[in-house]
Amino acid sequence: MSGFRVGSFDRGRIASLWHPFLPAQAATSLLEVDLEELWRSGKRLILLDVDHTIVQWRQETFPPGIEEWVAKAKGLGFDLCILSNTRNPERLARLATKLQIETVRDKFKPSPAMFRLAMIKFKRKADETIMIGDQIFTDVLGANRCGIEAIWVQKMEGNEFAGTKISRFGERILRSTLYKALVTPVDESPESPEIEGAKPTGEKTLIRQIIKFCIVGGTSFVIDFGLSFLFLRILPWNGVLLSQSLGAWLQTSFPSFFGWAKDAQTAAIPILGGLASFIAMFNSFIWNRSWTFRVRGKAERIAQLRRFYLISILGAVWNTLIFSALSNVISGHPNRSLVVAKVIAAGVVAVWNFLGQRYFAFRVAK
């Protein structure tokens, strides 16, 4: 994770709103966690995350030093326990057997259930326990919810679960706030005053891109919603609404595909709503390429266009499916239902589109 910073955190430096996400310390890896210092501070139970904390995702071979660190912790007298959300308990059991330590599985972190079960299992209090993991929204948040201090470690190199990537995106946004509480040792203080408290350059770029992406997304949403409303509720065709005429034809001609719709207008939503979304894509491509991600030149334009359409079409499929499913969510209020359906669909798809465009569609060839 680029821009990762290490040290201890002082809760008094930031608003209490952010305290649930604030670790006690940050370290580049498990191997950098000072076991002697933990023991002196009264910690007796160490709770460990699995993936990217003690081993890479889906792997069963520990990086050099991990097994020795665990053995040293045992030698000092610590109890150790693995807390995991894994859906592969067999792999977890094999890892635990190699390390000869206990495991606890229960409700997914950040639920406090696993943390509390571990403390009950080892008969330890919260102030005697420390959680070590690589994720803010699971390991750190879950520990804080139980009054347990947490050490946030930088993730290991390697692939990870798709859902975790979304969590990482949130961490990149949040960590600039959390770093305001970071206590920088005197001998590591930045030489230039402007560096202290500043956000990493990559993070500044990311935040600017998010803001611009939201602005572009807002204009595209207006185009998408305006055209959808026009096609479905206003535009006439042979004396009736276009949506009614088209939907009736679709239900008659393709009953196996459109028989699910309760009326003709609903049957027309996948076609007319999809058309509105497709037109709005043009606006997004032009502005996100030139303004949000500041891509210049023609060399990569065709390849970027292909990648953009791949991401956008998949996003449009999600948009259409969600929009169609919720188009009558408020019984007796078809216009309000359209608004609610479009807002929910747009929010879900916005995350997909930003990540896909930033890391895939508009990536710069190296």
| Domains with residue ranges and CATH for the chain | 7-199 (3.40.50.1000), 202-361 (no CATH)
pTM above the 0.75 mark? Answer: no
Residue 102 CB-half CA count within 13 A? 16
| Alpha-carbon distances of 257 from 74, 253, 324, rounded to whole Å | 62, 9, 14
Return d(Cα 77, Cα 361) in angstroms, integer: 51
* pLDDT tens per residue, range 183-212: 965 444 444 443 334 444 555 677 888 888
Q: Is the pLDDT confidence value at 68 over 80?
A: yes
Instruction: Please give the residue that has the higher pLDDT: either 118 or 294.
Output: 118
Edge-to-edge strands, sheet with 129-133: 102-104, 79-83, 45-48, 129-133, 149-153, 25-27, 7-9, 182-183
* pLDDT tens per residue, range 159-182: 888 778 777 877 887 888 899 999
